[in-house]
Chain A
Amino acid sequence: MNILIALLIGFLYAVSVYLLLRRSIVKLVIGILFLSYATNLMLFFAGGLTETSPAFVVASEAQNVVMTSDSLPQALILTALVIGFGVAAFSMVLIYRFYKETGTVDLDDLSDIEKL
Chain B
Amino acid sequence: MTLFLPILIPLVSIILLIACRHRLKCQQWLSISAVLAQLGTAFYIFFNLGESGHLVAQAGSWPAPYGITFVADYTSAILLIAVSLVSVAAIIYSIGFVDQVRQRGGLFVLFQGLLTGVYGSLLTGDIFNLYVWFEVMVISSFVLITLGAEKQQLRASVKYLVMNLIGSMLFVAAIGLLYSQLGTLNMADIAFKLRSEAIPPLVNSAIMLFFIAFGIKAAVFPFFFWLPASYPTPPIAITAFFGATLTKVGVYVMLRFYSLFAQLDTAFWQPVIFVVAGLTMVFGVLMAASSYDIRKILSFHIISQIGYMLMGIGLFSVIGLAGAIFFIVHNMFSKTATFMAGGLIYLYKGTYDLKKLGWVYKTKPFLAFLFLIPALSLAGIPPTPGFFGKFFLLYAGFEGAHWTITIVALVVSILTLFSMVKIWNEAMWKPEVESANLSVKSVRPAAWVGTVIAVVFTLLLGLTVGFTYDYFAQAGQQLIDPMNYIKAVLPDLIVK
Binding site for B on A (CB under 8 A): 20, 25, 28, 32, 35-36, 38-40, 42-43, 45-48, 70, 72-73, 76, 79-80, 83, 86-87, 90-91, 94-95, 97-98, 101-102, 107, 110, 112-114, 116
Contacts and interface: CB of A to CB of B under 8 A. Distances in A.
A95 B158 CA distance: 8
Contact of A102 (B154, B157, B161): B154
Contacts of A97: 146, 149, 154
B165 interface: yes
Nearest to B151: A101
Contact of B179 (A32, A73, A80, A114): A73
Given A87-B139, A102-B154, A20 B162 contact: yes
Interface string B132-166: 10010001001100100101101111110110011
Contacts of B143: 90
Interface string B175-189: 111011001010000
A101 B175 CA distance: 38
B296 interface: yes
A77 to B, nearest CB: 9
Enumerate the 7 nearest inter-chain pairs by beta-carbon distance, A residue then B residue, closest first: A43-B176, A46-B176, A46-B180, A39-B169, A46-B179, A98-B154, A83-B135
A76 B169 CA distance: 13
B117 to A, nearest CB: 12
B227 to A, nearest CB: 13
A13 to B, nearest CB: 9
Contact of A39 (B154, B155, B173): B173
Contacts of A95: 158
Nearest to A70: B183
A107 B233 CA distance: 17
B72 interface: no
A86 B154 CA distance: 18
Interface of B: 128, 131-132, 135, 139, 142-143, 146, 149, 151-152, 154-159, 161-162, 165-166, 169, 172-173, 175-177, 179-180, 183, 185, 229, 232-233, 293, 295-296
Contact of A42 (B132, B158, B159, B176): B176
Contacts of A107: 158
Nearest to B296: A116
B216 to A, nearest CB: 13
Contact of B176 (A25, A39, A87): A39
B481 to A, nearest CB: 30
A43 B175 contact: yes
Given A35-B166, A87-B135, A90-B142, 8 more contacts: A39-B172, A39-B173, A45-B176, A46-B180, A87-B142, A95-B158, A112-B155, A113-B155
B165 to A, nearest CB: 5
A107 B169 CA distance: 22
13 contacts: A38-B169, A42-B176, A43-B175, A48-B180, A70-B183, A73-B176, A83-B132, A90-B143, A94-B161, A98-B154, A102-B151, A107-B158, A116-B295
A46 B155 contact: no
Contacts of A70: 183
B177 A79 contact: no
A32 B162 CA distance: 7
Contacts of B180: 45-48
Contacts of A35: 165-166, 169
B128 A86 contact: no
B149 A101 contact: yes
B165 A110 contact: no
Contact of A36 (B149, B169, B233, B296): B169
A70 to B, nearest CB: 8
A110 B172 contact: no
Nearest to B150: A101
B173 A86 contact: no
Contacts of B154: 94, 97-98, 101-102
Contacts of A110: 155, 158-159
A79 B162 contact: no
A45 B295 CA distance: 45
